[in-house]
Amino acid sequence: MISKSMENLVKNNSVIRQMFEEGKILSQKYGKENVFDFSLGNPSINPPVDVDNAIIKLIMNENKLDLHGYMSNSGYDDVRENVAKYLNNEFNTSFNKNNIIMCTGAAGGINIVLKSIIDKDDEVIVFRPYFMEYRNYIANYNGKFVEVDFDNQFNPDLEDFKNKITKKTRAIIINNPNNPSGAVYNENIIKSIAKILEEKEAEYGKDIFIISDEPYREIVYDGEIVPYITKYYNNTFVVYSFSKSLSLPGERIGYVVIPDEMNDKENIFEAVTIANRILGFVNAPSLMQKLIGKIIGKTADLNEYKKNRDLLYNGLTQIGYEAFKPKGAFYLFLKSPIEDEKEFCNKAKEYNILMVPGSSFACPGYVRLSYCIDSNMIERSLNRFKELFSCYKL
Amino acid sequence: MISKSMENLVKNNSVIRQMFEEGKILSQKYGKENVFDFSLGNPSINPPVDVDNAIIKLIMNENKLDLHGYMSNSGYDDVRENVAKYLNNEFNTSFNKNNIIMCTGAAGGINIVLKSIIDKDDEVIVFRPYFMEYRNYIANYNGKFVEVDFDNQFNPDLEDFKNKITKKTRAIIINNPNNPSGAVYNENIIKSIAKILEEKEAEYGKDIFIISDEPYREIVYDGEIVPYITKYYNNTFVVYSFSKSLSLPGERIGYVVIPDEMNDKENIFEAVTIANRILGFVNAPSLMQKLIGKIIGKTADLNEYKKNRDLLYNGLTQIGYEAFKPKGAFYLFLKSPIEDEKEFCNKAKEYNILMVPGSSFACPGYVRLSYCIDSNMIERSLNRFKELFSCYKL
């Protein structure tokens, strides 16, 4: 009864749902406070009070038909202008409203970009490990998914990257900071990626786009800097979401940046705007757009995530686990003490610990722990992690 | 540079944009109050005060992480339960939360349904005249668009309908009340459609779905009744949006109804939920969902549209124009006094009147006037319509 493209997704979804159900059963059995759920990427820090205050002000003061009404499919002019100004101030760019399209979260943003540039069988390159949903987004437009390997710092293997670019390559997706590894690709890496792409563009006589997916941009530690890629490579879309920085993931609000330097920029801007319409988003939610216009630059108190990272990373490595020290985002990528990380995740459930197997990010042998949870929960989990680890001691 | 599927859309969009620019030029030249813009379907009546009050209460009282956070891709349980209860009370149905998926406006709702049921080359039937965007929605999933003719009351030509159903037919889209004609398909018509479909389902041994697109459900006149189609045909999706009834078109909030009676209901419900996720909607905007949970059943003061309908319909027919008297929605479908309705629209611009040619709804020879504008504007426009009409007098 359902379409062929959805058949496998529905089948696999029951597995995920099963995991979710198991979590609920654990909570009922042992009490919610005794289940250590590291599986979800839902922000744990309240939105800043500016969010509430600005929404109430908007409700009190704005014309209702404007506040909740249709506007251009690319978003309100004044909001787009404010986003451009903020970016210019922050990254020394020179955008204006004609470089900004307000979109329905980063997931919406990536979809409208892909719809605008991908033809059937065009290849899109993604660096492992990656947010599995990219596969579905690319399949929506009948594109082909191409994986690139990583090095021991979870940076892309640039040799492999070079080899994977073909005359069918249309775009690469970069997720920086990275979900699930917590890696941050620094300026040198971005420069190398840009150089490789420019050479391949010349070799094949065609444009290749970077789609830079940046919902974790502000969540970085130890002075890491996330390069603003439009400054390194002309054919770059930046896709941003306020889900993590403002703790508003349910509101679906973000923007796409399309720089003037992009080849055929005017037509592409129009295509992405129309894609926003015809894919059924129509426009980013209007009240949330207006909110962003008022408070852009504010964030939730993201320091909490730094505290959680240190607590979890130090705690686990002291026990004896091997893990990559996250440079950004709110995920810890832990090496499974045994080869089959799914078995490890199942074992962990016996200790009321829920984690996501690395195979879900094309990276078996690892597990992902989301530390966007209460610090106290992390502290109390460490004893259970110790008991779990003792199962695998020689 | 842009994808092939978007090329024509970008090309044609410049025509629409040109129209929009001309409107702006007219406004600058003659003053906004002297331009009679009947081209846009943007509600002109303020949302009810309940909207503001409920949003402020939610902001004051709800847990922030819940109010703005992720939830199931099908929406908050309590909101879905309230929608189901409202429908049961209103239409004597027996839904519960497992029949409701909150979606990103009707445009989002139709897209997630099509994604879930349409394979390449499946045929989707639409009744003329129709909202042109259906063509794009169906093309998103590589479906084939099939048109059915109408009779002199703008009801579907049922003979033609029967003939257009083939073994490739997967769905039909019904828009009731209809944009752009203002027709309302009554119980007899819906029963006939259901009967034809059931016969064809039996003949071809396959399921054919109705997708009932109902954003104008509450906007009906003279006691017209809009049948609730799940009661007449099992394989029915109802797609609803609050854009018109609550005057919130920018907020992108609606729901999809999937009745228990639908064949393979469980899998289809899951497919539509997953489609919501993978198309990039993820979930309907969270604050707006919670708002609906609180105020479902309230509407803006829709009587204003009735007043506008009478003013415009009576005014124009007294001048001598021929028009279909709208039974619902807020559009008047006017017969062009000359065969080429685009030429008529161009002539109208000389009188500062903006209308949309019927060709944009697969219905040349007619023009669409949106009367969701200030009543005073309609009154003042009638003299200009009279002058315009005199150009065509014998």
Q: What percent of chain B has pLDDT over 90?
A: 92
Q: Using a CB-CB distance cutoff of 8 angstroms, which residues of chain B are in contact with residue A18?
A: none
Closest CA to A250 of B275, B72, B248: B72
Chain A residue at shortest CA distance from B44: A65
Domain C-terminal end among A229, A260, A295 = A295
CA-closest candidate to residue B237, choices B205, B261, B206: B261
User: Given the structure tokens 């607590």, which residue do they identify?
Assistant: A311
A–B CB contacts, 8 A cutoff, strictly below:
223
Q: Do A65 and B109 touch (CB under 8 A)?
A: no
Percent of chain A clearing pLDDT 90 (strictly above): 92
What pLDDT does A359 receive? 94
Residue B212's domain comprises 49-295
**Which amino acid does the sequence have at A123?**
E
| pLDDT tens digits, B316-345 | 999 999 999 999 999 999 999 999 999 999
Assess whether B195 and B237 both reside in one domain: yes
User: Is the pLDDT assigned to residue A20 strictly greater than 90?
Assistant: no
Distance in angstroms (rounded) separating the CA atoms of residues A331 and A318: 18
pLDDT, average across residues B367-380? 96
> Taking CB atoms and an 8 Å cutoff, what residues of chain A touch B112?
280
Q: Tell me how far apart the alpha carbons of residues A320 and A315 are, in angstroms, rounded to a whole number.
A: 9
Cα(A178)–Cα(A195) distance, integer angstroms: 21
End position of a domain, from candidates A295, A317, A340: A295
Cα separation, A88 vs A214, whole angstroms = 17
Residue A258 forms contact with B (CB below 8 Å): no
Same-domain status, B67 and B210:
yes
Interatomic CA distance for residues A376 and A230, integer angstroms? 40
A97 in the same domain as A121: yes
Confidence of residue B12 (pLDDT cuts 50, 70, 90): confident
Cβ–Cβ contact A12 with B under 8 A:
no
Q: Nearest Cβ partner of B69 from A42, A70, A278?
A: A42
- A271 with A357, same domain: the answer is no
Query: What pLDDT, in 10s, does the model give residues A51-60?
Result: 999 999 999 9
Name the minimum distance, in Å, from the CA of A387 to any CA of chain B.
32
Inform me whether the pLDDT recorded for A16 exceeds 80.
Answer: no
Strands (E), A176-247: 209-213, 236-241
pLDDT by residue (tens digit) across A221-238?
Answer: 999 999 999 999 999 999
Q: Are A287 and A67 in contact, with CB atoms under 8 Å apart?
A: yes
pLDDT at residue number B394: 61
B280 vs A2: CB contact, 8 Å cut-off? no
* Helix ranges, B92-246 (H): 105-117, 133-140, 158-164, 187-204
Pair of tokens at residue B249:
């078109």
Check pLDDT > 90 for residue B108. Answer: yes
Of A385-394, B13-22, B107-116, the poorest mean pLDDT is in B13-22
- Does the pLDDT of residue B18 top 90, yes or no? no
Output the average pLDDT for chain A. 96
A5 shares contact with chain B (CB less than 8 Å): yes
**Does the pLDDT value for residue A366 go beyond 70?**
yes
Distances (CA, A) of A275 to A23, A279, A391, B87: 38, 6, 52, 33
Nearest to A104 among B46, B67, B281 (CB): B281
Q: Is the pLDDT of residue A11 over 90?
A: no
Q: Are A66 and B38 in contact (CB under 8 A)?
A: no
A159 CB contacts (<8 Å, ≥6 apart)?
Answer: none
Mark whether B14 and B157 lie in a shared domain: no
- Give the closest residue to B37 by CA, choosing from B52, B24, B56, B55: B24
Number of separate domains in chain B: 2
Task: Kindly state the helix (H) or strand (E) to which residue A188 belongs, with its residue range.
Answer: helix A187-204
* A249 φ/ψ sector (left φ>0, alpha ψ -120 to 50, else beta): alpha
> Residues B114, B253: one domain?
yes
pLDDT at A394: 62
Closest-CA residue in chain B for A268? B2
Chain A hits for B20, CB-CB cut-off 8 Å, are none
Annotate B287-316 with b (16+ C-beta within 10 A) or e (fewer). Answer: bbbbbbbbbbebbbebebbeebbbbbbebb
A285 and B285 within 8 Å at the Cβ level: the answer is yes
- Residue B233's nearest CA partner among B171, B179, B144 is B171
Task: Name the token pair of B254.
Answer: 């609606």
Q: Calculate how close chain B gets to A270, using CA atoms only, in Å.
A: 6
The residue among B65, B123, B272, B304 with the most chain A CBs within 10 A of its CB, best to mutate, is B65
A247 contacts in chain B (CB < 8 Å): 64-65, 68-69
CB A292 within 8 A of CB A48: no
Closest by Cβ to B281, choosing from A67, A108, A249: A108
H-run or E-run covering A172 = strand A169-175
**Domain identity same for A272 and A343:** no
CATH number at residue A307: 3.90.1150.10
pLDDT surpassing 90 at residue B41: no
Q: Which of A3, A24, A52 to mutate to test the interface with B (most CBs of B within 10 A)?
A: A3
Portion 32-91 of A in contact with B at CB < 8 A = 40, 42-44, 46-47, 51-52, 55-56, 59, 64-65, 67-71
For A118-132, what is the mean pLDDT? 97
What's the average model confidence in pLDDT over A246-275?
Answer: 97
Taking CA atoms, B366 is separated from B154, B158, B335, B343, in Å, by: 12, 22, 4, 11
Span A265-284, mean pLDDT? 97
Q: Do B2 and A70 touch (CB under 8 A)?
A: no
B104 and B243: one domain?
Answer: yes
Alpha carbon distance B58, B52 (integer Å): 10
Hey, are the CB atoms on A287 and B283 less than 8 Å from each other?
A: no
Last residue of a domain, one of B295, B310, B336: B295
Q: Are residues B110 and A65, on separate chains, in Cβ contact within 8 Å?
A: no
Cβ neighbors of B384 (< 8 A, separation 6 or more) are B36, B351, B352, B353
**How far apart are alpha carbons B309 and A370 in whole angstroms?**
56
Q: What is the pLDDT of residue A132?
A: 92
Distance from CA of B47 to the nearest CA of A (A): 7
B21 and B68: one domain?
no
Percent of chain A having pLDDT more than 70? 99
B371 neighbors B307 (Cβ within 8 angstroms): no
**Mean pLDDT across chain B, nearest whole number?**
96
* Rounded distance between C-alpha atoms, residue B146 and residue B148, angstroms: 7
Taking the CA of residue A319 and the nearest CA in chain B, the distance in Å comes to: 32
Q: Which of A47, A59, A68 sits opposite B250 (nearest CB)?
A: A68
Q: What is the pLDDT of residue B347?
A: 95
A45: confidence class by pLDDT, cuts 50, 70, 90: very high
Lowest mean pLDDT segment, chosen from B18-27, B172-181, B213-222, B237-246: B18-27
Predicted confidence (pLDDT) per residue in A283-338, tens digit = 999 999 999 999 999 999 999 999 999 999 999 999 999 999 999 999 999 999 99
Chain B interface includes A18 (CB < 8 A): no
Cβ pair A105:B141 closer than 8 A: no
Task: Give the mean pLDDT of A71-96.
Answer: 97
Most A CBs within 10 A among B4, B6, B50, B283, hence the mutation to make, goes to B6
For the segment B181-196, the average pLDDT, to the nearest whole number, is 98
Confirm or reject contact between B3 and chain A (CB < 8 A): yes
**Alpha helix segments (H runs only) across B215-340:** 265-278, 286-295, 303-319
Rounded Cα distance between A372 and A299, Å, is 15
Confidence of residue A158 (pLDDT cuts 50, 70, 90): very high
How many Å apart are CA A7 and CA A29, to the nearest integer? 34
Q: A236: distance to nearest CA of chain B, Å? A: 13
Beta strand extents in chain B (DSSP E only): 36-37, 100-103, 123-127, 144-148, 169-175, 209-213, 236-241, 254-257, 323-324, 331-335, 353-354, 356-357, 366-370
Which residues in chain B (204-243) have CB-CB distances under 8 A to chain A?
207
**Same domain for A308 and A280?**
no
Q: Of A219, A134, A235, which Cα lies nearest the Cα of A184?
A: A219
Subunit contact B247:A274, Cβ cutoff 8 A: no
Q: Say yes or no for a CB contact (<8 Å) between B104 and A281.
A: yes
Distances (CA, A) of A231 to A91, A158, A228: 9, 20, 6
- Only one residue has tokens 């508003």, namely A248
What letter would DSSP give residue B220? B
Partner B, chain A 108-147, Cβ-Cβ below 8 Å: 108-112, 115-119, 133, 136-137, 140-141
pTM to 2 decimals? 0.97
B64 to chain A, closest Cα gap in Å: 6
**Lowest-pLDDT choice from A142-156, A167-181, B37-51, B231-245:** B37-51
CA angle in degrees (0–180, nearest 5) for A292-A280-B268: 120
Across the interface, do A282 and B65 touch by the CB < 8 Å criterion? Answer: no
Task: State whether A158 and A249 are in the same domain.
Answer: yes
Query: What is the C-alpha separation between B262 and B270, in angstroms, rounded?
Result: 13
Query: What is the amino acid identity at position A175?
Result: N
pLDDT of res. B21: 77
Q: Is the pLDDT of residue A348 over 70?
A: yes
Instruction: Please tell me the total number of residues recorded for chain B in this structure.
Output: 394
Q: Which pLDDT does position B176 carry in this prediction?
A: 98
Predicted confidence at residue A19, as pLDDT, reads 74
Kindly report whether the peptide bond that precedes residue B285 is cis, defined as omega within 30 degrees of 0: no
pLDDT tens sequence across B279-312:
999 999 999 999 999 999 999 999 999 999 999 9
Chain B interface mutation, best of A4, A5, A102, highest count of B Cβ atoms under 10 Å = A5
Looking at the structure, tell me whether residues A166 and A204 fall in a common domain: yes
Domain CATH code at residue A207:
3.40.640.10
Report the C-alpha gap between A310 and A182 in whole angstroms.
Answer: 13
Pairing mode, strands B331-335 and B144-148: unpaired
CA atoms within 13 A on the CB side of B193: 32
